[in-house]
Amino acid sequence: MISRLFIRHFKYLVLLSALILSACAGVPVQEMSNARQAVDAARKAGAETRASEELKAAEALLQSAEQALEEGDYKKARRDAEAAQSRAVVAQDKSLNE
């Protein structure tokens, strides 16, 4: 009796774990959107002239994230999109504070 109960709960636990892991490995839609918006905001703040190196780095990372997304490498896409957003924020801050 106890072993059947244990097995039933174990099955639910495995199923729940699989669902959680698949959610983590999914398409990084929000991260890509955040990166695109951050790069656009940096451009609008004048980063092309005031923080060109930072903006170019952010754009390169965003392009890399888009390529990884097309190839189905969601982990790399997420990592590069987050890095692109971070660099774009630096470019925007530098543009606004000069």
Q: What digits encode the pLDDT tens for the residues 14-23? A: 555 554 555 5
Residue 97 has phi, psi (to 5 degrees) of -100, 5
**Encoded tokens for 22:** 């698949």
- The ranges of the chain with pLDDT < 50 are 19
User: pTM for this structure?
Assistant: 0.75
Helix H or strand E encompassing 70: helix 52-71
Q: What is the pLDDT of residue 51?
A: 96
pLDDT at 8: 58
Write the single-letter amino acid at 86.
Answer: S
- Which 3 state secondary structure label does DSSP give 68? helix
- Rounded to 5°, the CA angle 22-23-29 comes to 125
Give the per-residue pLDDT at 93: 95
Distance, CA of 41 to chain centre: 17
> What pLDDT is recorded for position 44?
96
